[in-house]
Amino acid sequence: MLWTLDTEDWKYPDATKIAQSVVAKVKRNDVVLMHDIHATSVAAIPEILRTLTARGYHFVTVSHLRATM
């Protein structure tokens, strides 16, 4: 499974900036690459999920995507 949106989260030690970047760039059916080894990336996830859920997005795991291919 390849990603379609590289958040470049490793460049930004700021959870708010990461969340804003993802929300601004994401499109329908994107596979978003984020790195859970960075605390700021992990901290950005709740805001990303809240904002995108409010916009009608829903989320699936890579395992789910693979099972439907």
The predicted pLDDT at position 52 comes to: 98
Strands (E), the chain: 5-6, 32-33
The predicted pLDDT at position 33 comes to: 94
The predicted pLDDT at position 46 comes to: 97
Quote the CA–CA distance of 25 and 27 in Å, as a whole number: 7
pLDDT tens digits, residue range 16-55?
Answer: 999 999 999 999 999 999 999 999 999 999 999 999 999 9
